[in-house]
Amino acid sequence: MPELPETETIARDLDGAVRGAVVARTSVARADVLRDVTARRFETATRGARIDAVWRRAKSVVLDLDSGDRLVVTPRFTGALLIEPGGRPAEHAEGAPGEPSADYTCLAFDLVDGRRLRYRDVRRLGTVALMAPARFAAWNAALGPEPLDPALTPERFSGIVRASSRAVKTLLMEQRRLAGIGNIYANEALWRAGIRPARRGRSVTRAECGRLLGALRDVLAESIALRGTSFRDYRDAFGERGGFVRRLAVYGRAGAPCLRCGATLRGHHALEGRATVYCPSCQR
């Protein structure tokens, strides 16, 4: 599932590529990815709109429209926002209404300049929401602070972690507490900080919290620089793979030697059913 570095990469790509572009036509092939809006309303509301900016919030890509509405795209497991030169006629790309498209396109924006921005999703677990200002404000307010935001001080981060008795890895992944962190980077940051994932938040010292925040920021920044982590589905806005997979120290490496101390890495699914990998020797 695309996390902060992957959605940040997509948002930056699209902001550079489509900021100021105008939508000539919108076509919806699979309305089940839409939230709180019909396909007809979505097509009407976005046709003729100018894209003023594209940015990221948590694990979502946000497109600001000149109408004041925002498109919030959450790719989840197999979703992708792709910008393509020379858009094709919608009827050739999507097929009959309600039928799956040959290329898994769920919706597409044909731009005035001839390009096409499309949302592709093989499993259709991602979502696309059209939010008026009040709806967007409520959605945004329900999310926690961004880990890369300087306003998230070590003291504030420590308060988030130490206020709960839940496992620290689980806390890092709760979007209402901290936005954008998922399973990959929670595992990696905890390994870098030397903290065992199952430790209770309130047991983590303030000094350890400071170390963990630094590790989070470092691993996120490094992944963004390498355009995210691709295992199978994630692609950037131009259809390319991310390169951070070669830097992973623990995620996907259960049974391999720890890169820091050489002990055998352990893996389990005891925390929220997600794959957890850690070093039993140097993570305490």
The pLDDT value given to residue 97: 41
Based on the residue annotation, tell me whether 169 is a catalytic residue of this protein.
no
How far is the C-alpha of 71 from the C-alpha of 65, rounded, in Å? 8
How far is the C-alpha of 121 from the C-alpha of 104, rounded, in Å? 6
Query: 7: burial class by Cβ within 10 Å (0-12, 13-18, 19+)?
Result: buried
Other beta carbons less than 10 A from residue 20's beta carbon: 10
**Together in a domain, 164 and 123:** no
Catalytic site residue from 47, 206, 260, 274: 274
The pLDDT value given to residue 91: 38
CATH no. for residue 30? 3.20.190.10
Which among 63, 62, 24, 21 has a CA at the least distance from the CA of 43? 24
Are 242 and 225 in contact, with CB atoms under 8 Å apart? no
CATH no. for residue 233? 1.10.8.50
Reported pTM? 0.92
Residue 283 is assigned to a structural domain of this protein: no
**Together in a domain, 110 and 203:** no
**Together in a domain, 62 and 161:** no
Catalytic site residue from 12, 56, 59, 76: 59
**Together in a domain, 10 and 116:** yes
Residue 54 is assigned to a structural domain of this protein: yes
How far is the C-alpha of 255 from the C-alpha of 280, rounded, in Å? 11
**Together in a domain, 90 and 128:** yes
Neighbouring residues of 257: CB distance < 8 A, sequence distance ≥ 6:
263, 264, 265
**Together in a domain, 176 and 125:** no
The pLDDT value given to residue 245: 95
Domain boundary among 92, 107, 141: 141
Domain boundary among 93, 114, 141: 141
**Together in a domain, 42 and 84:** yes
**Together in a domain, 116 and 183:** no
The structure tokens 């981060």 sit at 157
Q: Name the residue range of residue 27's domain.
A: 4-141
**Together in a domain, 124 and 180:** no
Low-confidence stretches of the chain (pLDDT < 70) are: 87-102
Residue 235 backbone phi and psi in degrees, to 5: -135, 150
The pLDDT value given to residue 93: 41
Residue 146 is assigned to a structural domain of this protein: no
How many residues in the chain?
284
**Together in a domain, 11 and 131:** yes
Are 198 and 169 in contact, with CB atoms under 8 Å apart? yes
Are 87 and 111 in contact, with CB atoms under 8 Å apart? yes
Based on the residue annotation, tell me whether 274 is a catalytic residue of this protein.
yes
The pLDDT value given to residue 100: 43
Count up the domains in the chain and report the number: 2
Which among 140, 170, 171 has a CA at the least distance from the CA of 158? 171
**Together in a domain, 263 and 184:** yes
